[in-house]
Amino acid sequence: MRVSRSELSQLIAVKLHQAGLSKEHADGVADVLVHADIRGIHSHGAMRVEYYAERIAKGGINTTPHFKYEVTGPSTAVFDGDNGVGHVAAKQAMDEAIQMAKASGIAAVGVRRIGHSGALSYFVRQAAKAGMIGISVCQSDPMVVPFGGSEPYYGTNPIAFAAPSHDDRLLTLDMATTVQAWGKILHARSRNESIPDSWAVDKEGHPTTDPFKVNALLPIAGPKGYGLMMMVDVLSGILLGLPFGNKVSSMYHDLTEYRNLGQFHLVINPAFFTDPVVFRQHISQTMDELNRIKPAPGFGQVLFPGQNNDLIQEEYEQNGIEIVDEIYEYLVSDTVHRNQYDHKDPFAK
């Protein structure tokens, strides 16, 4: 079904407030989730509300966190989220990073001790809307084999990048470093369909086409994606003095525990490197040039990174956001959560 942006935002905020979040933080999370849904990133939109509500209700999110922002050098800072909702901490940390980069040209801000923060494009697009280049990476729970391994070590450790153009478009890359998300395996299970053998491995580390035999996901492009996951884990885990690798807390393991996750923002002010007007003009130019590349057979047009989401957003802004009926029914119901996510099994959901 279709729902307007404002209705979806309000429904999400009310549900999270009922679960125990302050009104301000519930609104903040809703904004990040609606950003995901309206850009077609449904894996990180309203679909997550019931899980968050259960974790909040069970104490696995600090509902009265004391955020602490500490400037540690001319271009560096650490933002401590006190295990509150990651969405709000990561947003505030990005606001600080933008201010720092305005003055010093570059800002590297570590975000420590937070809950899940959702779709990272939200944060890098904050920077791009302020005329900066934004980069953000974060840890996620271990469910991916390192190249050549048969046991999970890293998470789906996403990487996001955004840059402003001379018009109102933003160049946006926002990707997990796995071939496919865990949700795609669940989707195949629910339909009893096989999966391509490039997505995941079984308990022995053999590629599998049977979604029920999946024990871990595979990184994108073999050792290269594995290397990117490592980089994300160093920046958002080891660098910030947080649990790293397979010690990163699981999303579904124990909903009463804080997650202590890390995220890392880097903001670059183009004005400290080149003429910022020319920079933005050239970003626009590169977008246009990409769109004019002759498409390969089977493709209508080459899109610049993020343009696929821009097109969805344009359509959803006009006609309402497409939401799965079940999710809408939950949002409008009196239920806060149904005790269904505390599985003690990282691969259960």
- Active-site residues, by number, are 116
Round to whole Å and give the CA distance between 286 and 280: 10
Tokens of 218: 């595979």
Instruction: Give me the least distance between CB of 87 and ligand NAI, in Å please.
Output: 9
Is the Cβ of residue 116 or residue 337 nearer to ligand NAI in the bound state? Answer: 116
The bridge status of strand 159-164 relative to strand 170-175 is: antiparallel
C-alpha to C-alpha distance for 170 and 172, rounded to whole angstroms: 6
Residue 75 and residue 86: Cα distance in Å, rounded? 22
Q: Which is nearer to ligand NAI, 227 or 305 (CB)?
A: 305
Q: Which residues, listed in sequence order, are joined to residue 171 by a DSSP beta bridge?
A: 163
Nearer CB in complex with ligand NAI: 75/304: 304
Residue 155: CB minimum distance to ligand NAI, A: 7
Contact 219, 226 (CB under 8 A): yes
CB 75 within 8 A of CB 94: no
Instruction: Give the nearest residue (CB) to ligand NAI.
Output: 119
9/121 with CB nearer ligand NAI: 121
Q: How far is the CB of 202 from ligand NAI (least distance, A)?
A: 22
Report residue 244 as tokens: 């790293």
Report the interface residues with ligand NAI, using CB under 6 A: 41, 43-44, 116-121, 138, 140, 156, 158, 160, 173-176, 181, 303, 305-306, 308-309
Distance CA 216, CA 124 (A): 29
Q: How far is the CB of 344 from ligand NAI (least distance, A)?
A: 19
Cα 162 to Cα 78, 99, 289, distances in angstroms = 21, 17, 18
